Amino acid sequence: MQQLEVINILKKDLNFTDQSILKLKKFTNLVLKENKKYNLISKSTENQIWARHILDSAQLVKFIDFSSNSLADLGSGAGFPGIVLEIFNKNKGFHVKLYEKSPVKRRFLMKAIKELGLNAEVLGDIRDEKLDTDIIVCRAFKKLDYVIQVSREIAKKPHKLIILKGQNAQEEINKSFKNKKYPYKLEKSITNIDSKIILMNIS
């Protein structure tokens, strides 16, 4: 799936505006440029950045209530999905917080926010920061049981967890529910037939 095809899906199925598409183009150029110096995304995925990173992140807009107060992206990396979600966001009262422990990636995130004129905040390691958001998202972060532990111990209650996972999503859920179970739903990913999106309510 190449850039034009992805942009078509972003506009038709996910309601991205022309202005947000322009910002996404600028953002992808920034990522690819910085990736020459630092390993922000895997080099093998550079030529599929629109499908593998942009669309994979963007599909989460279907499950997010942008009228709530805030969203936290754990292990934001190069800004997937956090920056993509902030580019889509039209509510000035909705605050996106990007948690990333790598100083190199934090510097990149701050540069991207400044150049794109976004309303997002960059924070450090999740264990050293306050986590007081309504929605927590993560992609290519830790195992699910760790995310649930962070959710239970650090985050304010109640909140919603939205996690992009591969084909072992159900297996990870089963392992994580040994002590306590939470209401959840599994949604299909639009970028990979085997991948899933976990939607979970933590209270």
User: Which stretches of the chain score pLDDT less than 50?
Assistant: none
pLDDT digits over 18-47, tens only?
A: 999 999 999 999 999 999 999 899 999 999
Give the pLDDT score at 106: 97
Give the pLDDT score at 52: 93
At a CB cut-off of 8 Å and minimum separation 6, what does 13 contact?
190
Give the pLDDT score at 134: 92
Give the pLDDT score at 14: 97
Give the pLDDT score at 61: 97
CATH architecture for segment(s) 3-202 = 3-Layer(aba) Sandwich (3.40)
At a CB cut-off of 8 Å and minimum separation 6, what does 182 contact?
148, 200, 201, 202, 203
Give the pLDDT score at 49: 96
- The dihedral over CA atoms of 107, 132, 162, 159, expressed in degrees to the nearest 10, equals 180
Give the whole-angstrom CA distance, residue 157 versus residue 177: 18
Task: Report domain extents, the chain.
Answer: 3-202
Give the whole-angstrom CA distance, residue 5 versus residue 50: 9
Give the pLDDT score at 131: 87
**95-99 β-sheet, strand order:** 120-123, 95-99, 70-74, 135-139, 159-165, 196-202, 184-188
Give the pLDDT score at 97: 96
DSSP 28-71: HHHHHHHHTTS-SS-GGGGGGHIIIIIIHHHGGGGG--TTSSEE
